[in-house]
Amino acid sequence: MRVPDSLAASHRRYFGEAGRDWITALPTLAEDLLGRWHLRLDGTPRNGAVALVLPVLREDGTPAVLKLQPVDEETGGEPAALRAWAGRAAVLLLEADAGTGAMLLERLDATRSLDAVDDDLAALRILSEILARLVAVPAPSGLRSLGDVAAAVLHRAAPARAKLADPSERRLLGACADALREVVDEPGDRLLHWDLHYENVLASPPSSGRDPWLAIDPKPLAGDPGFDLFPALWNRWDAVQKSGDIPRSVRRRFDLMTDVVGLDRQRAARWTLGRVLQTVSWSIEAGATRLPPIPSAIAKVLLNRW
C-alpha cells in the first residue's frame, strides 16, 4: 500500500519525527488490520490531514471503511464517542483497536456531504437536528473535559492578546475572555462532537435503512453544547457575505441552531465566544498579529447582542 503524499507531508509538518515514524509504519499497520479483521480493499483510499481511510469489504461482503490515525488528545476519544452514540445521528463503529487507534466504520457516501445541499438554512437545520441528537447523550467517562479546555484557553488568552497590534482587537479578545469566564465553572457533561460542519456530515446509502445524514470524524469532549455551534456559524461564509447583512445572517444562523438544539442563547453565546477565543489564540500563536476576520465578525455580532 502506498501512503498518499499529502498525508505524509501533513504528518511531517504537524508531528515532526513522530509523524514520519507513523507514516513509515502505516503500510504494515494497514496490512495487519486487513488480515486481522478479514477485510479486502474495495476502492481508492482517501485522506485528510491526519487520517487514512481505506474502503474495504468485510468477510461477508458488507462495505465498510478502515480508518487509520495516530492516537492523541483529539482522536483518542473517538471510539468511545461512537460507541456512546451507537449509530444514532453518527457513523456506526464496527470494530476498534485501542492500541493503534484504528477503527472499522460503516461505509457512508464519501462523495456527498451536507455541503451538497444548496439551501444554506436547510442544510443548517439538518446539521442542527443532528447536533441536538448527539448532545442529548451524556459523555462517557474518560473524555477530555470542556472545563479543562476552557481553563487552558483562558490561560493562553493574555499572551495572545498582548501580541495584537490593534487596541480595538485587544479589547475584542478581552471581551471574549470575559464572556468565557462567566461560564467556565459550569462546563457541562454532554457528549460534544467539537468539529461538526457540513463536510463532516455524510449521506448514508439509500438502501442502508439508516438516517439520510450522519456525522463523522468527531474530536469528542464532555461539555456544554454551546461550545459546538461555532464550526457551523463559520460554515459557508461566502453565503453570509453575499447576504449583504453579515450581522443579520450570523444572528439568523445562531438563532436557528439554538432553537433546534434547545439552548439558552446567552449561555450559548458565551461558550461560542470562548470558542472564538480558542481559535484566534491558535492563529496568534502561529504568528498572526491581526485577528482572523470571520471569528472576529461572529464575536462582534454576539457581543453586541448581549
pLDDT at 264: 98
Confidence of residue 248 (pLDDT cuts 50, 70, 90): very high
Among the listed residues 68, 18, 1, 19, the one whose alpha carbon sits nearest the alpha carbon of residue 9: 19
Confidence of residue 13 (pLDDT cuts 50, 70, 90): confident
Tell me: the pLDDT tens digits for 75-128?
889 999 999 999 999 999 999 999 999 999 999 999 999 999 999 999 999 999
pLDDT at 305: 78
> What positions carry a catalytic annotation?
195
Among 106, 126, 157, identify where a domain stops: 106
Please state the rounded mean pLDDT for residues 255-264. Answer: 98
- Whether 270 contacts 153, CB under 8 Å: no
204 has a pLDDT exceeding 90: yes
Report the alpha-carbon distance of residue 250 to residue 263 in Å, rounded. 16
Q: What is the CATH number of the domain that holds 84?
A: 3.30.200.20
User: Which strands sit side by side in the sheet containing 144-145, from one edge to the other?
Assistant: 144-145, 221-223, 190-192
306 has a pLDDT exceeding 80: no
Q: DSSP code of 90?
A: B
In a shared domain, residues 125 and 231 = yes
1 has a pLDDT exceeding 90: no
- Whether 147 contacts 230, CB under 8 Å: no
98-101 contacts, C-beta under 8 A, 24 or more apart:
100/29, 100/33, 100/68, 100/71, 101/68, 101/69, 101/70, 101/71, 101/75, 101/76
The CA-atom distances, in angstroms, between 11 and each of 3, 211, 277 are 11, 34, 26
Q: What is the CATH number of the domain that holds 131?
A: 3.90.1200.10
- What's the mean pLDDT when you consider all of the chain? 95
Among 106, 135, 167, identify where a domain stops: 106
Cell numbers placing 59: 468477510
**Residue 283: enclosing H or E segment and its boundaries?**
helix 265-285
Tell me: the pLDDT tens digits for 21-41?
989 999 999 999 999 999 999
Question: Can you give the residue range of the structural domain that contains 135?
Answer: 113-305
In a shared domain, residues 238 and 286 = yes
pLDDT at 121: 94
Please state the rounded mean pLDDT for residues 215-236. Answer: 97
In a shared domain, residues 227 and 298 = yes
In a shared domain, residues 165 and 254 = yes
218 has a pLDDT exceeding 90: yes
Cell numbers placing 110: 464519501
Please state the rounded mean pLDDT for residues 243-267. Answer: 97
pTM of the model: 0.95
15 has a pLDDT exceeding 90: no
Cell numbers placing 194: 467539537
Tell me: the pLDDT tens digits for 268-304?
999 999 999 999 999 999 999 999 999 999 999 999 9
In a shared domain, residues 212 and 128 = yes
pLDDT at 35: 96
Tell me: the pLDDT tens digits for 133-190?
999 999 999 999 999 999 999 999 999 999 999 999 999 999 999 999 999 999 999 9
In a shared domain, residues 61 and 151 = no
pLDDT at 250: 97
- Residue 68: φ, ψ to 5°: -120, 125
Q: In the chain, how many domains are there?
A: 2
